[in-house]
Amino acid sequence: MERREVLRVLASAAALTALSPDKTLAAWSRVASGIPLPNELSPAHMALVRAIADTIIPRTDTPSATDVGVPKFVDVIVNEYLPETERTAGLAGLDAIDARARTESNVAFAQMSAEKRSAMIDSFEKGDRGVEPSRTYWRLKRLVVHGYFTSEPVMRDVLKVSIMPGKFEGAAPVTIKRRPSSTETPLSEAGGAHEVHAHA
């Protein structure tokens, strides 16, 4: 199966995530705003999220997860949509992943070689999903995959989804016709309908 076909299959799976379309759009809009989060992930946590995201979806003939901003999407979801108890558990899970990396390789996960990262992720894939750090890995993976396939670059350039079908005209002419009242002059007698423009 070609990579683009695999991406389409994964995109279908991503649609099954618990995030609603409204939350997804709001999260990506928050990313696009560029406004810093009040409780954003630490540099160490962001480095870990980037490394895991790009191990799951690396750059090939299509962009990587980091290329389309998935780590920032994850940061928004973790900090603005998760209950505090889940957020705290998630951060502890990220720490557990890095702790395991340091135990096995004496470096943080983000500093491991691509081969060692893949091997560790493979162990998470085969391990018990209900036990840390596999539990946090699987939750993060769902967010990464969902974020990737709902990002504008992937929808537009990889999946070829028309984000806004049709032609958009921000100042299209609109003709307004009103029924004349007994005290108004009919439009036909006042020079015809008025043309106004709607502005974006």
User: pLDDT, tens digit, for every residue of 66-88?
Assistant: 999 999 999 999 999 889 999 99
Domain count across the chain: 1
**166 backbone φψ class: left, alpha, beta (φ>0; ψ -120 to 50):** left
CB 70 within 8 A of CB 148: yes
CA dist 3 and 158 (Å) reads 10
Could you give the maximum distance between any two Cα atoms of the chain, in Å? 87
Structural domain of 22 = 3-158
pLDDT tens readout for residues 122-152: 999 998 999 999 999 999 999 999 999 999 9
- 190 occurs within a structural domain: no
- 151 occurs within a structural domain: yes
Do β-strands 173-176 and 194-197 pair in parallel, antiparallel, or remain unpaired?
antiparallel
- 200 occurs within a structural domain: no
What pTM value is reported for the model? 0.72
- 187 occurs within a structural domain: no
